[in-house]
Amino acid sequence: MRHFLFCSAAILTMAAYPATVAAQDDRISGGNDMGITAPADAFPQEPGSDYFLADYTRYEAYLKKLEKQSDRMKLVNIGKTAEGRDQWMAIVSSPENLARLDEYRDIASRLARAKDLSEEEAAALAAKGKAVVWIDAGLHATETVTTQSQIHVIYRLLSQNDPETLRELDDVIMLFPHDNPDGLDLVADWYMRKKDPKEREFDSIPRLYQKYVGHDNNRDSFMAQMPETENANRVMFREWYPQIIYNQHQTGPAGMVVFVPPFRDPFNYNYNPLVMTTLDEVGSTMHSRLVAEDKPGSGMRSVAPYSTWHNGMFRSIAYFHNSVGLLTEIIGGPTPQRIPLMPDTQLARNDEPMPIAPQEWHLKDSLEYQWFLNRAVLDYASRNREKLLLNFYKMGATNIAKGNKDSWTITPRDVDALKEAAGDEAPPPEEGINVYRAKGRVASDLYSMLQQPENRDPRGYVIPAGQADMPTVVTFLNALIKNGVDVEQATSDFTVGGTQYPAGSYVVKTAQAYRPHVLDMFEPQDHPHDFEYPGGPPKPPYDITGYTLAYQMGIQFDRILDGFDGPFTLVPDLIDTPDGTISGTASAGWLVPHTSNNSFALTNRLQEAGVPVSWIKQPINAAGRDFQPGAIWVPASAAAQQIMTLGADELGVNAYGLSASPTAEMLSLTKPRIGLIDKYGGSMPSGWTRWLLEQYEFPFSVVYPQELDKGDLEDKYDVLIFANGTVPGDEDSLYQKPRESRQPDPQDIPAKYRPWLGEITQDKTVPAIATFAREGGTVITVGSANRLAELIGAPVEAALYKQDGNKREVLDRREFYIPGSLVTARVDNTQPLAFGMPDTVDLFFDNSQSFKAKGSGTTPISWYDSADPLHSGWALGQEKLEDTVAVFDADLGDGKVFMMGPEVTQRAQPYATFKFLFNGLFYGPAATK
C-alpha cells in the first residue's frame, strides 16, 4: 500500500472528463442480453481504460441505474461521509434471497452472537442461512484498482448466467460497500484535470484523501471515530455479520502482481485460532484460482510485511469478531507501468508459486486479477456455506464458554518465565518434556506455571460510575458498542468480590461472542520479540504493537476473575453523553473540575462569548469538596449562566456554584489564536489534531510553511502546533525522520493551492519561529517535530543517543526499539501543563525521543521513573528511558516551548494525554501575557 499524505481543504472541483468512449471491442466486460448497462456505456470511458478514472459521482449514478435494471441487487445508504456524501453499499444476491434479506440477516446475527443457541439449533440455522461476504473498495483512494474493479465485478454478477455465478448468487449474500467516497471524487477529479492523458497523475494531490486522516482511515477501526468507519463497523458487527471481510488494496510486491494471504507471524493471542486456519484456506483458494486461470505473480507470507497483530484495520478487526479478514495488495493504475525484473522473484517457491515475467502492465490487467480474486472468495463461500456459518457460531459459542470458566491466554512473557524456570538443560529428545526435570520440578509443575490462578483471564470488567471524566468513559464504551460488544449498566448498587459499586456503573463481561475484541481493548498487548535472525536487529512490526484502549483513554476499571452477576441491563445502543450537574448557589460564580476533557469545550464556549475564565493554581476546598490544582473559575453573569447550563446538558460537565469568589492565586486565560501547522499533500498527525481541535471547539487556523517564512507571526498567532511529522529531518537528526512531502511545480497545480507549497527550513523558517517564541509566543512540538524545539534554542536536548567523538548518533535498533507501545510515566499535575491529569499516565511511544535539560528555565512535566515502563506492546532497551523526561515546559525568551516526545494525540486515541496539548493551548498565552 502506498502511503500518500495529503492536506485538508475544500472539495475539489475539476475539469470535466474527456468525451471519448472506449472502443466496444476492447471492453473489459462484454455485452449482455439482460438489459444491464455495461460500464463502457455508463461512463465517459470504460473504467479500467488507460489514463481514465471514474469518480464517485458517476459511480453512484451507475449503481442507482443498476438497481433499477436488475433484480439481483439492492442499494443501501449506510450513512454520510466526513464531507457529507452518501456512502452506498450494493447488496448482490439472487432475487429469491433479496426478497428474504431480513430473514437471512437474522440468521447471521443469531449465529454470530451465539446466545441461547444449541449446536443443533445452530446447525439447522446454518443449513437454512446464506453465507455473507463483505468485499469493499476505495478505502485508500489513490489505490485506484479497487474502485474501478468493483464497478466491473458488480456488473458481471448482475449480467452473467454461467453456473458458477448462479450458484454463488444462490448461496451468498454479497456486500459491496465503497469505503471512501470523498477520496474517490478527489483523486479521480485531480487525475482527470489535465487534457493530455500522458500528463495525468495523482501524486501531487494537495490534501488528505479522507477529510481528516487520509491513509489512517484504515487505522480507525477499534475507535470508529471517522463517520465512514462507524458506518462500516455498524454493517459488519451490528447488522450483517459477514463471515468473510475482504479489504482490497494496492500496491503489490516489487516484481510481482499481488500479495494474497496467508500472512506472516505474529498473530494476536486473543482471537480464536479457527479464524486463522480458515483464513489460510481462503487465501490458498485465491492463489489456486489465479494459478488455474494462468494469472502468475501472486505471493504470500514472506513477500510482504503484513501480519495479523494490530486490531485497528478493516481486515484485522475482523479476526477479533470471528470473521475471516482478507487483504490483497495489487499493482496497477490508470497510467500504464512496467513490472520490473527482480531476479529473486523468478525462482518459484512456496510463498511465490508462479513467478511472472517482466512486462508492461495496464489497469485492465489488474481488473482481471481482481475479478478472479473476488470470484475465488465467493466460490469458497458458496461451496463452504454451511461450514462457514456453523463455524461462525462455534467460535462465538467457544468464546462465550471461555468467558464463563477459568481460562488463560498464553503470551510470550509466560513462555519466557517457563523457560527461565526450566533452566538451561534440554530434555532428552526421545523422552520429551513429560519426564523432564529442571531445578527439581517435573514438567507438569512447569506447565502449571502457565495456569496460575492469579493469571486467569477476567470474567469481566467493572467500570465504576462517578469517574473524574465520565464523558471520556462513555466515548470508550461507545467505541466498544460500535464494534458490536455487549455493554451492561447497573440499575442499582451492587457488590462484586467484596467491592461495592454504585448504580450507573458499567459492566463488560467476557462471556460473549466478541470476547477476543473485549480482551484486546482491556488487556495489555504482549508482542513477541521478533528478530530478523538470532542476535540480529528486530523485525519491524506491521504498524504498532501496543494500543490497549482502556489504558490510552485513562479508564478506571476492575478486572473480575471470578464469575459474577448483578442488577445489570444491556445497553441497547450508543450511550448519550451523561448529564452533568450544577449545584450550589452561584451568586459569585462556578468552579469546574479540570479533570474532564470536555471542560475545554466548555472553556472555549465561554471565551467565545467573552466570559472571563481562570485556572486556580493551588488545590482548594470549596462547595464541600476538594479540587485539584487547575480548577476552572467562571464568574457569574447571564451569559455564563446560559453556557454553563448547556455545558452540563450537552458536555456532561459538573459545576459547583459559590457565593463568594475564591481567594486563591489564579491564572487568567485569554482566547488563544492557534495556528496548526500542515504541509502540501497533508500530514495525518496534523489532520488528527485538526479533528480533535474541532471536537473540543478550539478556534484555529491551518498554517503552511510559506506563511511561517514571512515572519511577524506574533501579529496573528499566540500558539503554533507542530504535530509529529511536520518538521523535516536530516541525515544526522536524532528524531524520527518523517516521510518526504511531494512538492509539485507551482505551475502544475491550481493557484489556490500554491500557498500550501514549501517546507520548514533551517535557514528561513527556524529563525522566524525562534523570534515568535522569544517575543512571547508559544510553540508546541510533538513527536519528531521536537527537532524544531532544539533548533530554535529551547534549553532542552535529546536524551536517547550514543556518542561517537563529538557526534551524537541514533541508537541502534538492537540497543533501543519501542515500535508503537504504551509506556507509563509520572506526571507533575501541580504544573499548569498537566492540570487535571492523574499522577501517572500511559504515553504512546513510537520510537520517540526523550529529553534532558540543557540549561535553566525548564520544568519537567512528565518523566520515566522506572527501568521497565512498558505497559503494553514491545520494548527493547526500555531501561534507557529511566530518569529522562517525556514532556518539558521550557522558557525561551518571553515565550514558551512545550516539548512532547510521545505522540500525545496519536490517531485521536490517547484521551488520557490530550490535556498536555489542550492545557498548553491556554497556559502558554496566559503565562506569557
DSSP label of 457: P
pLDDT at 4: 34
- The residue count of the chain comes to 929
**Cα(260)–Cα(298) distance, integer angstroms:** 7
pLDDT at 440: 53
- Find residue 887's DSSP bridge partners: 862, 900
Q: Which domains does the chain have, with CATH numbers?
A: 24-399 (3.40.630.10), 410-454 (no CATH), 457-570 (no CATH), 582-668 (no CATH), 674-800+807-928 (3.40.50.880)
**Cα(240)–Cα(469) distance, integer angstroms:** 34
**Residue 788 half-sphere exposure, CB side, CA atoms within 13 Å?**
34
- Residue 629 φ then ψ, to 5°: -55, 140
User: What are the start-end ranges of the H helices in 506-597?
Assistant: 515-522, 549-552
E strands in 545-693:
558-560, 568-570, 582-583, 589-592, 614-616, 620-622, 625-627, 632-635, 655-658, 666-668, 674-677
Interior angle at CA 532, CA 250 and CA 303, nearest 5: 25
pLDDT at 427: 56
Structural contact between residues 319 and 308, judged by C-beta atoms closer than 8 angstroms: yes
- Find residue 86's DSSP bridge partners: 80
**Cα(468)–Cα(835) distance, integer angstroms:** 13
Structural contact between residues 473 and 450, judged by C-beta atoms closer than 8 angstroms: no
405 CB-near residues (< 8 Å, 6+ apart): none
What is the per-residue pLDDT across 785-806, written as a single tens digit (0 to 9) for each?
Answer: 999 999 999 999 999 999 888 8
Q: Which of 111, 64, 113, 69 is nearest to 90 (CA)?
A: 64
Collapse the DSSP code of 674 into the 3-class scheme (helix H, G, I; strand E, B; otherwise coil) and give the result: strand
Q: First CA to last CA across the chain, in angstroms?
A: 48
**Cα(120)–Cα(124) distance, integer angstroms:** 6
What is the per-residue pLDDT across 618-663, written as a single tens digit (0 to 9) for each?
Answer: 999 999 999 999 999 999 999 999 999 999 999 999 999 999 999 9
* Secondary structure percentages of the chain, helix, strand, coil, to 5: 35, 20, 45
Residues of the chain with pLDDT under 50: 1-25, 433-438
**Residue 253 half-sphere exposure, CB side, CA atoms within 13 Å?**
22
User: Helix 684-695 and helix 914-928: axis angle, to 10°?
Assistant: 80
Question: Which grid cell is 555?
Answer: 479508564
Question: Which grid cell is 49?
Answer: 481504460
**Cα(480)–Cα(514) distance, integer angstroms:** 10
pLDDT at 37: 97
User: What are the start-end ranges of the H helices in 806-850?
Assistant: none
User: What are the start-end ranges of the H helices in 651-791?
Assistant: 684-695, 705-710, 765-774, 786-791
Kindly report the average pLDDT of the chain as a whole number: 94
Sign of torsion, CA 186 188 191 195?
negative
> Global pTM?
0.95
Structural contact between residues 67 and 77, judged by C-beta atoms closer than 8 angstroms: no
